[in-house]
């Protein structure tokens, strides 16, 4: 079974093949996701909420991400493994390089950063130094207090254009992947069509190149608020591995996300 790389995902995009991503935080779930064919695993700072019980992602540390990256790495043979750069771990390019190196040495194939134009120098410097970058635009959870809560982004024309411009700029700076979160489906489609690099959506409609879900949402075990864009595949199938396979199948066929999971 060939390993998934950024080149693989680029080929998928060029061929029009949808791919799947899930968050993972330990070796056992990572192995299950990997063996069933999930293409990308993300050690997400979402662990702050789903593992640690916080109200947001801000308390997560670099060492938290590094520890869970080491755990996930041991369960992965095929999938591309991305590690989140947590809150304020990349405020400057120098800080980003130091902390990204820790995560790459823990086993990540790529790091993910949230933000637009202010990150361009950082993305370029990381890429030049052999650290692949996945960017993240739209609803960026580390900026939740700036946004005034977990709110849909890019609904008005000015903000939609800003997000599209930032997507193009961050690709030009060297990013190899882009996650767009909680933006209107037409905007996500425009971004996916405008960029050469693959675009992964969450709460962004079915026209992105790939989809990602938090594993706890996929399995219906998230406590408290359940996002509109999530789907409980365990309830649908009754078995974890079948839930994973159903998710992959529905993404590849364009069934998920449906209109009920999408913002206009």
Domain that holds residue 160: 6-261
Instruction: Say if 42 falls within a structural domain.
Output: yes
Q: Catalytic residue at 260?
A: no
Instruction: Say if 113 falls within a structural domain.
Output: yes
pLDDT, position 148? 61
What residues form the annotated binding site?
45-46, 84, 112, 114
- Of residues 15, 36, 94, 181, which has the active-site annotation? 181
**Could you state, in chain order, the average pLDDT of each consecutive group of 10 residues for the chain (264 residues)?**
94 98 98 98 96 94 98 98 98 98 98 97 98 96 68 92 98 98 97 98 97 96 81 95 98 95 86
pLDDT, position 252? 97
Domain of 222, CATH number, reads 3.20.20.60
Instruction: Say if 209 falls within a structural domain.
Output: yes
pLDDT, position 186? 97
Residue pLDDT, tens place only, 191-207: 999 999 999 999 999 99
Instruction: Say if 1 falls within a structural domain.
Output: no
pLDDT, position 221? 92
pLDDT, position 128? 98
Instruction: Say if 128 falls within a structural domain.
Output: yes
Phi, psi of 250 (to 5 degrees): -70, -35
What residues form the annotated binding site for 3-methyl-2-oxobutanoate?
45-46, 84, 112
What residues form the annotated binding site for Mg(2+)?
45, 84, 114
As for how many domains the chain has, the answer is 1
Instruction: Say if 73 falls within a structural domain.
Output: yes
pLDDT, position 258? 92
């Amino acid at each position: 079974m060939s390993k998934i790389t950024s080149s693989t995902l680029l080929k998928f995009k060029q061929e029009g093949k949808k791919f799947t991503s899930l968050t993972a935080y330990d070796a056992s779930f990572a192995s299950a996701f990997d063996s069933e064919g999930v293409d990308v695993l993300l050690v997400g700072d979402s662990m702050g909420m789903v593992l640690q019980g916080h109200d947001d992602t801000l308390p997560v540390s670099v060492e938290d991400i590094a520890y869970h990256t080491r755990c996930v790495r041991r369960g992965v043979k095929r999938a591309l493994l991305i590690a989140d750069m947590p809150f304020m771990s990349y405020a400057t390019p120098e800080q980003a390089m130091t902390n990204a190196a820790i995560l790459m040495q823990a086993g990540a194939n790529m790091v993910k950063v949230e933000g637009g134009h202010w990150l361009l120098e950082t993305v370029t410097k990381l890429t030049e130094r052999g650290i692949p970058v996945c960017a993240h635009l739209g609803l960026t959870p580390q900026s939740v207090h700036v946004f005034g809560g977990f709110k849909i982004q890019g609904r008005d024309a000015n903000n939609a254009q800003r997000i599209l411009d930032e997507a193009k700029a961050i690709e030009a700076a060297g990013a190899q992947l882009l996650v767009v979160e909680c933006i209107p489906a037409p905007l996500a489609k425009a971004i996916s069509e405008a960029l050469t690099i693959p675009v992964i959506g969450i709460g962004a409609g079915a026209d992105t190149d790939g989809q990602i879900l938090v594993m706890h949402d996929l399995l219906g075990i998230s406590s408290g608020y359940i996002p509109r864009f999530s789907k409980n595949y365990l309830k649908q199938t009754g078995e974890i591995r079948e839930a994973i396979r159903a998710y992959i199948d529905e993404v590849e066929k364009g069934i998920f996300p449906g209109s009920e999971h999408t913002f206009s």
